[in-house]
Structure 1
Amino acid sequence: MHPSSTTREPTPALVIIGHGMAAQKLLEQLVSLSPDQQLPWPVTVIGEEPHLPYNRIQLSPLLAGETRTEGLISQQADWFSRHGITRISGDPASQIDRAARCVETASGGRIPYQRLVIATGSRPALPLPLPAHLPKASSVNDWPPGLMGFRDLKDVEQMQAACLAGRQAGAGALVIGGGLLGLEAAEGLRKGGLEVTLLQRSERLMNRQLDEVAAGLLERELRERGLDIITGAHLEEWLESPAGRISGVRLTDGRELHAGLTIAATGIRPEIEFARAAGLACQRAIQVDGHLLTSDPHIHALGECCEVDGETFGLIEPIWAQIEVLARQLLAQPTPPYRNAPLATRLKVSGIDLYSCGELAPQPNDEVLVYQDHALGDYRRLLLREERLVGVVLYGDVSAGNALFEALKAGTPLTRIREDLLLMPAEALARLTQDGPPTAPDDPSGKPGTQDMTDQHRDRDTTDKTDKTDNTPDTFEEAA
């Protein structure tokens, strides 16, 4: 336990359960919005890991040897002391006593609260039930040896040790899941010197973000680097060693794939067990309203462990937006409610750039614009519906991604730049912005145009549904 010192009243007004990226960002936002950057009440944050808060997005570069552990740390211990924040690490919350407004920790501590924020994140999901003779796993800590997720610093340390042992013993690794997180894990293990086989249930990699062409380009590049990729792979059962170690999988087609280490990167499960035990309303995750308030008026939930209007979260952008709302709500500052909106996914794996947002599958009357430069390895596909952008897939050159995403969210009419949109998207969109909004049909000038659609498409910004996926330089986790 690492509590910081404070001279304020001993009873915290705010307690935060979980000290991952979302909780730390909330703390920083609360400090930033407070007068003179001094919180108006004491805060206690309870973390499961025995570390200072760190940037989990950088775990993939850490595994690949592209950064060092100390470079991941978000804030040093003195930052918490300066702002009257008590940090409890390595002693996770175990129970919420709503009647007493108190949080109990694994060591038996009891911490009272006036306001409580649950930011417990998620756990890796098993792609296949464990063998019947093994006890049911309640968390990744209960998985048998040889099988692990890819979620925290401890996982990276174990994977790095496995790389060293595997190089010496000639053992390979198996990664299950061809989404963002699986690709990053596979590439990191390959760079660590292991022979890696990647299994993807779908017929293409990143099937929620990429069309067949972009997925094919990605697969070809990864194969050329040395990854063995099996798509259309359906698992039948785990393989075990005589000592009870997971040693690979058997596929439904009868193939047996053996490995010294197996990584499950097939999605996430919101961590809601003790929230549910406390009687909070939960479905897939903890149900909250637009101000991140649960069914208990004294308790909020944030990030991967919560759901808003049936949507759960794995990318940074919506969680950062939630934090902005929640910080102002806790400080009694005016704020509009959080609403779900379209999201973008970006992946960068050692020189491979991908960008995807909006819808992937075209509807019957949609227009699909495609550009490909085989020499440069660039691919671009834009999906238009009634002259408005509804889907983007970029491979290679992703420099126009943010501009295209903004046009998609705004529902901007693109008729005037239609001819240049595919070949020069960023330049065309910039020109559209410089020219100002198009003139209405009844404009006295007689110039052709379309009325400003900002108000008409305001609801579009907050109600469009897209697949939410996990892990990338912009993401916490990917559901493969």
Structure 2
Amino acid sequence: MTKQKLIVIGAGMATGRMLEHLTDAAPDAYDITLFNAEPRGNYNRIMLSPVLAGDKTYDEIITHDDAWYAARGITCRFGEAVAGIDRSAKTVTAANGDVLTYDKLVFGTGSTPFMIPLPGHDLEGVIAYRDLEDTEAMMAMGPGKKVVVIGGGLLGLEAAAGMAARGVEVTVVHIMGHLMERQLDEAAGYLLKSSLEAKGITVRLRANSKEILGTAGRVRGLMLDDGTELPCDLLVMAVGIRPNVALAQSAGLAVGKGINVDDQMLTSDANVLAIGECVEHDGALFGLVAPLYDQAKVAAQTLLGEAAVFKQKTLSTKLKVTGCDLFSAGDFADGEGREDIVFRDPARGVYKRLVIEGTRLVGAVMYGDTADSTWFFGLIQSGENISKIRETLIFGPAYQGGVSVDPLSAVAALPPEAEICGCNGICKGTIVTAIEGGASDLGAVRTTTKASASCGTCTGLVEQLLQLTLGDQFQKPAAQPICGCCDLTHEDVRRLIKSQELKSQEAVWQELGWKTRNGCHVCRPAVNFYLLADWPLEYQDDPQSRFVNERKHANIQKDGTFSVVPRMWGGITTPTELRAIADAADKYNVPTVKVTGGQRIDLLGVKGEDLPFIWADLNKAGLVSGHAYSKGLRTVKTCVGTDHCRFGTQDSTGLGIKLEQTLWGSWTPHKVKLAVSGCPRNCAEATCKDVGIVCVDSGYQVGVAGAAGMDVKETERLCDVPTEAEAIDVTVAFIQLYRENAKYLDRPYKWVAKVGLDWVKSRVVDDLDERARLIAAFELSQSIYRKDPWAEHAKQAEAYQPLADLTLEAAE
């Protein structure tokens, strides 16, 4: 039988899912040609936010690679737009002039971002947040850069949080009175704003944009209608999308706000279908992935001549921002006959609001604790009578009947039709059937059902269903190996290096069954660190097994230049040091000089060939490397303490200097930041550092395991000590215990969460002999390995300095 010809325009998530259904059900039904204006195939757009934040790479979000298309015989024309369609002749004309015939045609042209037609909207550096290129433009921003995001909706906030995690100074401008006003009420919007501000994001509400300012064709700022100017290096518009209907309109198809389709996803032409963000169905447009996947399944069935109907469903929203747990579903607008149930816990930042109409739950907004969101969403979708559980409804499924029960019981109580994976529309019954059919782990469930394969927020529920269904046969997911070179976890490698007394990388590769001869870029830095930590006397540090920034002793910037940060003990400097920094900035034409959040000065934009010379000049003035590039001590932030402040209780500056002089040059599993505040007013922000000390009248409160990056976490109290010397000892012992036991690239807060603060206290606080051992071990490693890389390079630079001076004079 001759195959029919199918042309698909657009390789997005909707058409990708349609092709999966179609080729799985009838691999020989169609000869398929796939056009895509982007130079790539299907990738998971909803995971661009984790890519921006650095949690994932682009390769990890590719849904269909070249091999997938090839295996299904799909002809891919990526990077090619369609120029026109002749429906009477049933042909498609490509941009290069090629004319292809079709029997069936599917539009998946998606949407285009709406760009507010402000003066200056066409300047270079004004972008939307829509595709990989936009994401890469934002990823190019880093510390020292300023970005303005117009739009306080879901996409704009994910963009803002992703860039803030990269150290960018981000301002969100939103015209409405609270963020995400379509999904959240004012109370939840306020909590969200507070959480984002805690991440360093500036939020300006009720702010109306007037003009985008530029210089030499490049954006330099945004002017608001009140005259405020917000400077920026990049401006991101995230104010909505519009269905991309231009091609369909030119082909004569019926178009409203989107391409009009019926319940079978057919357009006004029976041989042409449309799915995704480009369509309009019963007056509705679609921007979330769940209905797009429903449309994809219906379209595949329609192409195969099967009966199928697309039905619109209640949708839910979750925000993919680390540290901002948010869920919204249904209709939560005020109205006659409606009543609210509200739960607030300001101390934990938890807010829940349920909207009830008669005997039904019609809306839910949850912030800070979204664990029960699936259960509430199921009640909204089913329209179940909630009269009997109304009094305890707000407390979730684990408290129905008036007593708390095992969370697994709550999952067991969910009906088979309860939706678990909102992105893919997968219900509990489908997942349980897959598990009973042999899908015995998370990966198999994903492959079989697609559940948890998109945004991943339902992964915990899927694992609970695995545990519930398999019972004693359920095995918790194995820990991830250190890399593809071996089957061992980080913890396994640390244990075996100690127990088998492995004292070289070659011994590790040989004795622990490495699949590769010399390891890889992932495992070599970790193994190098573990060997250094366990055998400081026997093992020689391997510079080639360190990350590029550590090898270069400077942070590489996006343009290939470097960042140079001199150390300033406890944030204290002198006029002599400042003059040396200013002279170096002038001499080497440093374009940007910035005060950092760690109370230091950063020289940004230094050329690679100038590094040894600028180091030598700074070194002569007594400045050493600030190790801003290292997996080690970065900064010790201080306030002025008793020297100047009328509230100071102890010499916080002096303690900070002593701590930094003790710990500098040390290497640790990840970067470490400290702070010392002279009183509980906490001006040095000691309560969100890896180690933070707060001075009080009676002595020093030592906290550990704080975080103020992608995660925001308050320190946990390790101990209270009466003397400065004891505060230093406890800090050094904690750092050494972290070095000896933590997984490489785990910050202290992640490590403490794994081993427990009580275990740490038992070694550092309670056991004085163990504390002394840890301090001695730290001092031993410092005596061997602590050195200033700038001083080492200064000798080399001195030999070439006359030539460098001549070159500089010639340039002047």
The answer to whether 1:417 aligns with 2:417 is: no
SS at match of 2:109: coil
Measure the CA separation in 2 of the matches of 1:55 and 1:66. Answer: 14
Q: Following TM superposition, by how much is the alpha carbon of 1:280 offset from its aligned partner in structure 2, in angstroms?
A: 0.7
Alignment map for 1:283-432 (pairs within 5 Å): 283-335=256-308, 337-425=309-397, 427-428=399-400
Name the counterpart of 2:151: 177
Tell me if 1:30 matches 2:9.
no
Distance, in Å, in 1 between the alignment partners of 2:77 and 2:253 is: 24
Q: Shift in Å at residue 82 of structure 1?
A: 1.9
Q: Aligned to 2:6, which of 11, 14, 21?
A: 14
Structure 1 residue 20 displacement after superposition: 1.0
Normalising by the residue count of structure 1, what TM-score does the alignment of the two structures yield?
0.82
Shift of 1:185: 0.5
Q: Does 1:124 align with 2:113?
A: yes
Provide the secondary structure at the position in 2 that maps to 1:42.
Answer: strand
2:662 match: none
1:325 deviates by: 1.0
In the TM superposition, residue 316 of structure 1 has moved relative to its aligned partner by 0.9
Structure number with the bigger relative contact order (C-alpha 8 A, sep ≥ 6) is: 1
* C-alpha deviation, 1:145, in angstroms: 0.5
Name the residue aligned to 2:39: 50
Q: What is aligned with 2:681?
A: none
Using the size of structure 2 for normalisation, the TM-score is 0.49
Whole-angstrom distance in 1 between the partners of 2:281 and 2:269: 15
Tell me the CA shift for residue 254 of structure 1: 1.5
Equivalent position of 1:446 in the other structure: none
Instruction: Select the residue among 168, 183, 187 that pairs with 1:194.
Output: 168
How far does residue 160 in structure 1 lie from its aligned partner after superposition?
1.8
Q: Give the corresponding residue for 1:145.
A: 124
Distance 1:474 1:113, change over 3 A: farther
**Counterpart Cα distance in 1 of 2:411 and 2:40:** 48
* Amino acid corresponding to residue 211 of structure 1 in structure 2: D
Letter in 1 for 2:323: G
Distance 2:170 2:414 in 1: 51
Which residue in 1 is equivalent to 2:241? 268
The 3-state SS of whatever aligns with 1:352 is coil
Cα distance in 2, alignment partners of residues 246 and 435 from structure 1: 52
One-letter amino acid of the counterpart of residue 21, structure 2: Q
Contact 2:326 2:366 in 1 (8 A): yes
Per-residue displacement from partner, 1:47-84 (whole Å, max 9, x unpaired)? 11112321111111111111112111112212222222
- Contact 1:388 1:412 (C-alpha < 8 Å) held by counterparts: yes
Q: Which amino acid aligns with 2:135?
A: V
1:128 is paired with a residue whose SS is: coil
Q: Which residue of 2 aligns with 1:112?
A: 101
* Shift of residue 33, structure 1, vs aligned partner: 2.4
Larger radius of gyration: 2
**Which residue is 1:462 aligned to?**
none
Q: Partner letter of residue 69 of structure 1?
A: Y
Superposition deviation, residue 405 in structure 1: 1.3
CA contact (8 A) 2:295 2:310 kept: yes
Higher normalized helix content (fraction of residues):
2
The amino acid of 1:288's aligned partner reads V
Contact 1:63 1:189 in 2 (8 A): yes
Counterpart code for 1:159: M
Distance across 2 between alignment mates of 1:426 and 1:412: 18
Distance 1:433 1:408, change over 3 A: farther
User: How far 1:214 sits from its partner (Å)?
Assistant: 0.8
Q: What one-letter code is carried by the residue in structure 2 that aligns with 1:273?
A: A
Q: Is the 8 A contact 1:199 1:231 kept in 2?
A: yes
Q: Is contact 1:12–1:112 with CA below 8 Å preserved after alignment? A: no
Q: Give unmatched runs, 5+ long, in structure 1.
A: 1-7, 135-142, 437-471, 476-480
What residue in structure 1 maps to residue 29 of structure 2? 40
The alignment's C-alpha RMSD in Å is 2.3
Report the counterpart of residue 211 of structure 1 in structure 2.
Answer: 185
> Aligned-pair distance for 1:328?
0.8
Equivalence map 1:215-234=2 (5 Å):
215-234=189-208
Note the alpha carbon deviations across 1:231-255, whole angstroms, 9 max, x for none: 00111222122x1223222211121
In structure 2, the gaps of 5 or more residues are 402-408, 416-453, 458-812
Structure 1 residue 389 displacement after superposition: 0.6
Q: CA deviation at 1:262?
A: 0.1
Does the CA contact (< 8 Å) of 2:33 and 2:74 recur in 1?
yes
In the TM superposition, what is the alpha-carbon distance from 1:109 to its structure 2 partner? 1.8
Query: How far apart in 1 are the matches of 2:278 and 2:86?
Result: 19
Counterpart-to-counterpart distance in 2, 1:237 and 1:426: 52
Q: Secondary structure at the match of 1:276?
A: helix
1-side partners of 2:306 and 2:45: how far apart?
30
Deviation of 1:130 after TM superposition, in Å, equals: 4.1
- Give the whole-Å Cα distance in 1 for the aligned partners of 2:132 and 2:156: 16
